[in-house]
Structure 1
């Protein structure tokens, strides 16, 4: 295993996470998983971690879990004022504040001192969803807070996004010009008792089966899936749909299934245990996500982790989570969902198709882990902490481009020792013998050449210098993409947990003389 460099460097730091809900909240979803899984790993690395969140009925105002201090205050909207009071009353308590934006951020820079490292985590842009979620005039206020007010308050501060789609959204829809870093969601490790291991030995359904595990809220548009079932049952009488989850749409979806005459083919399970979730996903042929948009398709990747592909619309977030033709199907946003699902089920009915697809899905899901995501988030926190303490205005110019360079050196050990201290924490490199492959974030080819020269690499010695692909930046490592593995074979994840490759985030910080493209 590769050492968690940035996480280890956070030891004894005081870190505050601000998130709308905690995992115990009845409406918790992917954003809560992201906050908790990264916070838990910060705590395990020795940081003093506090999570401030809304207080839901029956929840204690204070608790401890997984080494994390949980503070709860306010309700759905009152949590923002409660968090502001907490920051004002504890101005000297935290080295860094991680402000998780679920449509509306906490505006932590307004309430924390200038020497505190504030960064904003954005899961997805809600501008087009506020009309769906809020009545007038609250929808207008929501758009204003997310766009113009957030842009002013977080000006110049780092923004962490969970996918290339969210990065495009904050640039195009919100007008953010901040330095931005992609840190995707992870998946539970195979060895976790509440992870994919819970589904070991679960046989795939002999007949077409669809499973969805989701919050039942309007933006998920699961009514489209229920309305697709009459067509699907006509083509495949034995097809079945299992929906697990709770939310404001549950009663409406149940009534819709009855009206459509497919109550016998659709089962609503409500909230289920982790083991039951993995069992349902492992048994299914498909999962389906007809959302209007996502920050990232966490449910898609979780289904992939047990070998189940997905049918989704080609919308932000979901287009990043699905590899078309390999781990699922991307449908045009206005296309007929029933026909898209029927075509996918037809392909999976071919001999051996489900086994081949399952191997590709597991391979793709294995490239994401919460350990890697926590390490990448920790690197951003450390860079911002160093900037606020040493050189307030020193920063690499924001750029959404990244570059991959490959070069051969005479002394690989010497170059490795140098790279461990020369690159930024948010860059990455990989070594095979005396050949090195580096992934430099936030620069174009010209600036990358300058950085490599400072590493002692002559441009003429480069065997590759190219812009990183969308997938390269999402996965966030310098490991080149290899061939698809055979069924059942493990593949290296971002932390190099399997196979001979050793992936390492760069050493300490550019503020200490490190290479900055």
Structure 2
């Protein structure tokens, strides 16, 4: 009989707001589905099936962000005898498994801490509440095993009481093979920078726009592309006021595009801008590198890992639009350094593949699944 994994998360791969964490989870799980029975529980969403079998994984969707927590606990109690391991994926939301799952049968999976993002993305008093309770909520898990995706998050875990031996870092992956150099697209004739992602202050689009405005003073022909869900209200209220009217036409908001067009534009751009304040990794950094384009990032958790601390991308000296514009200027003016960084990023991207991620997860499972006679211990 196959070992049974119960995976708990706030979103699944089909969720309308699924992002890099959900892609990582699905790609990792489907690569071990032949040898493990996998049940994934997350909240329901409009248009989603209550139960869906996808790539060997049974996705169960129930309730809301709040009500799915007791549902997951009841599901575990009902099936505890057949469940070998429960993985609680914490992404702001959590399932508090240390309160009801024995230590030997559970693991934490976390891409990133939230920290300062609470103040940027959440209204008061919820921002204060989330920020003040994040550490004690995560410390509930400190006596158990933990999975994460970067050294930055591993360091954060150790800072709140996890030991190095408890933490396993799973490598990031790509769902396509890095392009051969002769397949790279020619760069645009004028300096062209690209942002890919959500329109959110913590993701850095505001800073990216301001940096572009600064750059335009010195390079008037420069262009800026934005790919991702277009939020007209956010553009009008938050972004347009940052841009002089006479240069707004040099910024193009493409909205969602196909995966093929995204990679093509990545390859044509001078550099990708990803000035987020905190990430688990930053998958688009690796995607851009795989098609011959470096990324400019802030020295922030996750992103510093994705660019190998500036060796496989540009990392600013400060988290500000001015510092971002300085690195954009370097991309244009220092062509020798640009080529060095570009190729270093490409070589790093060649080491990333979901098969590698899946194999690391499989190795961890084979070492960590509890024996049937393990004594039950909780927190």
TM-score by structure 1 length?
0.65
Considering Cα pairs closer than 8 Å and 6+ residues apart, tell me whether 1 or 2 has the greater RCO.
2
Distance in 1 between residues matched to 2:122 and 2:77, nearest whole Å: 29
Q: Which has the higher helix share?
A: 2
Match of 1:290 in 2: 275
Q: Paired residue for 1:39, among 26, 29, 32?
A: 29
Q: Paired residue for 1:370, among 339, 354, 365?
A: 354
Distance change >3 Å, CA 155–CA 237, structure 1 → 2: closer
Secondary structure (helix, strand or coil) at the match of 1:185 reads coil
Match of 1:19 in 2: 9
Figure out how many residues of one structure are paired with residues of the other and give that number: 371
Gaps (5+ residues) in structure 1? 1-10, 394-517
Distance in 1 between residues matched to 2:45 and 2:130, nearest whole Å: 22
Q: Check the 8 A contact 1:117/1:381 in 2, yes or no.
A: no
Q: Check the 8 A contact 1:224/1:337 in 2, yes or no.
A: no
Gaps (5+ residues) in structure 2? none
Q: Paired residue for 1:139, among 102, 127, 131?
A: 127
Shift of the alpha carbon at 1:87?
2.1
Residue 153 (structure 2) pairs with residue 166 (structure 1): yes
Distance in 2 between residues matched to 1:294 and 1:317, nearest whole Å: 5
Shift of the alpha carbon at 1:345?
2.5
Q: Check the 8 A contact 1:327/1:361 in 2, yes or no.
A: yes
Shift of the alpha carbon at 1:145?
4.8
Cα shift readout 1:434-481 (whole Å, capped 9, x = no counterpart): xxxxxxxxxxxxxxxxxxxxxxxxxxxxxxxxxxxxxxxxxxxxxxxx
Shift of the alpha carbon at 1:130?
2.0
Distance in 2 between residues matched to 1:391 and 1:91, nearest whole Å: 14
Cα shift readout 1:146-192 (whole Å, capped 9, x = no counterpart): 3213313x2421111211111111222x33347111113212241xx
Match of 1:87 in 2: 76
Q: Check the 8 A contact 2:62/2:68 in 1, yes or no.
A: yes
Q: In terms of mean alpha carbon deviation, does 142-151 or 360-369 score higher?
A: 142-151
Match of 1:214 in 2: 197
Q: Which structure 2 residues correspond to residues 267-346 of structure 1 after superposition, within 5 A? A: 267-323=252-308, 326-335=311-320, 336-346=322-332
Distance in 2 between residues matched to 1:149 and 1:142, nearest whole Å: 10
> Which protein has the larger Cα radius of gyration, Structure 1 or Structure 2?
1
Secondary structure (helix, strand or coil) at the match of 2:86 reads strand
Secondary structure (helix, strand or coil) at the match of 1:211 reads strand
Shift of the alpha carbon at 1:311?
0.8
Distance change >3 Å, CA 250–CA 22, structure 1 → 2: farther
Match of 1:63 in 2: 52
Distance in 2 between residues matched to 1:340 and 1:294, nearest whole Å: 22
Q: Check the 8 A contact 1:17/1:39 in 2, yes or no.
A: no
Cα shift readout 1:360-413 (whole Å, capped 9, x = no counterpart): 222111122211222222222332214x546669xxxxxxxxxxxxxxxxxxxx
Cα RMSD after superposing both structures: 2.8
Residue 74 (structure 2) pairs with residue 74 (structure 1): no
